[in-house]
Chains A and B, each alone.
Chain A
C-alpha cells in the first residue's frame, strides 16, 4: 500500500524534531530514511507507525487517512531497534501475539494461528527455534523473530527502526541481503531508518536523506551518491574532499589550482568544491592540482594517499587505482592531481 505524507511535523517541548514535510512512498518500495542522529528520521518513522501523534498534517495509507485510525486499525508492522521481544514468551508465542490479540470475533481459530505462525517461522528461517525463549537467541535470530512477529498481522506497511544497528558487522551484511530478498518475495511497502549510508545505498530502492528535521534529498541510491543535492549530503554519503575557493565567470578558482574548473551552475562568490577520494587521479603530466604527499597507507587491499594542497587547510584523501600503483609516490614527493568528478557548492553563509 502506498504511503502519502502531507505537511506532517512534530515538536517536542517546543523544539521542532521534524519540520512539516511531504513525502510519497509508492506501493511495494523499499525506502531508507537516512540521516545522522537527531535528524528526525526515527520521529518520522514513529509518526507513520502511529506511535507518536502528529502535530499537524495527514498520513494516508492508500485511500485511508491513517492519522484518524487507531494503532490497531493501522495494522503497521513495526520492528523495534532492540526488537522489544516479549521475554516470557517462546518464539512461537511472540509471533502469535498479534493474532491472539485480535478482537474475539475476528480472531482466527487456533489451528489457523498455528499454521500461519509456523509458515512465518519457515519464511524467516527459524522454524527450529520455535520453542526457545528470546534470551536463548542470538541477535540475528531475535531480529528474525521481531520481523516474523510484525508480519503476522498482515501489515499494510512494514517499518523498521535501525534494523541492523545492534548486530555485528558480518551478521549485519548477511541479514541485509536476506531482508532484500524477503522484500522482493513479499512485496510489502517497507520503510527503514538507518544512519549507515552504505546500508541505505545497498538495500533501498530509494533513499530519503534527512538533516535537522527536514528532507534534504529524496532519490534513487545511485543519484544520491553521484548527484548529492547539497554539501551536507555529499559529506554524509561517503567520504569526501573539500577545496575552498570562489566562483567567477562560471569558473571555480582556488589556491593551489593552476587552471580553473567549470563550476556547474554555482552562483558567483565564495564556494567549496567537493569530490570523492576515488575521483582523484595522479596526472601523468604533473599538471592539475599541485600537492605534496603526506602519507601513503595500505589498508585491506586498498591504498590511500593523503596529500596537502598548497593554500588549503585540509589535506586531500585519494584512493589509488591499480593503474597508479606502478609508480607509487613517496611521502614528501610533489605530485599533480586531476579531478574526474566533482561538485561545486556555494559556501554557506
Chain B
C-alpha cells in the first residue's frame, strides 16, 4: 500500500488522546510579551537559577540530538517549537483528537528565586494559551506553578482555575521535599477546590537532591531510569503522608514515569504497612486502595518485555481503566500509537487506553 495512504487511513481509524506533548519556545523572547519589564531584564542578566552546576544545559547530556527525535527538527527552532510541524508530523498523522501540553522549559518548578519563578510560571501559562491552545483547538494546557512556594503556587492556580483551556496542574515529582509533605498541601487544596487533577511530570533537577537515594549516578541510562524510581518514591509519599485521606477528591496522573512498577510497589507498600501501621494512624485504608482510587498513569515509555504477553499481565493488574496513552512528542523515546503495543488488545481495551480513560479523567466533551 502506498505509504501516504497508509498513514491517512491509520489516522482515520485511530483517534487518540495524547496525554504528554512537549511544546517549546524558539527563544525566550517568545515569553517577553507575558513578562513585566523588570523580569525580562532579570532573565537577561541573572537568568535562571537552578539546583545544578551548568547554565543552559543539563549535567547529564542526552543521547542523539539532545534527546529529541532526530526527525522532529523544524526549519528553524528546536523540536516542539513549530506548531505546523507538530500538526503535520504528529497531530494529523497520528489521529490525535486531543493533546495535553506539558511545558517543561524554564517554568517555575525549578527556579530557586521564587518571585522570578512565579513570574515565569505565569508567563509560561500565558504563552501556552496564546501560542498554542488558542491556535490549535486540539490542544489543552497545564497550569505551571512555582511549586516550592505554596502561596505563590496557589495564587497562580486560582488565576487560571476558571479557564477550561487548562485541564490540570503540573507539579514536578522531583521536588525539594517528597510531595506528600504538608507544605505542599495548600496546592492540593486549591486543586481539589477547582476540580483540576494534578499532573506529575519530571522537570530537570528541580529539587536538587541526587537522582537516587544513594547518590548521583554517572550515565544517562541511569538518569533515565530515575524517572521511574523517583515516581515510585513520590507515590509512596503521597500515600503514606495521608494526602489522599485529606483530599479525597484529588486525582493524580503520573506522566512519563512508567507504570509497570506499580503492582510490585503496591504489594510492597501493603505488606510493610500491614506490619508497621501503628506509625501512620492517619491512614484509614491500605495503600493499594488509595492508589486504586486516585492514581492514573500514562503509557509512554511503554515496556517491551521479551514476551509481550507479560505486559498484558501488568496492565490488567494496574487496571485497564487506569492507563492513558501518551507519546512524549518530540522526545526520543516517543511511542507511536500504531506501534506501541506488541500484543493484541481487545477493541474495548484499545478504546479505553487510547481515548476513553483520558476523556473521563479530563472530563472532555
Whether chains A and B associate is no
By a beta-carbon cutoff of 8 Å, the part of chain A in contact with chain B is none
Q: List the interface of chain B (C-beta within 8 A of A).
A: none
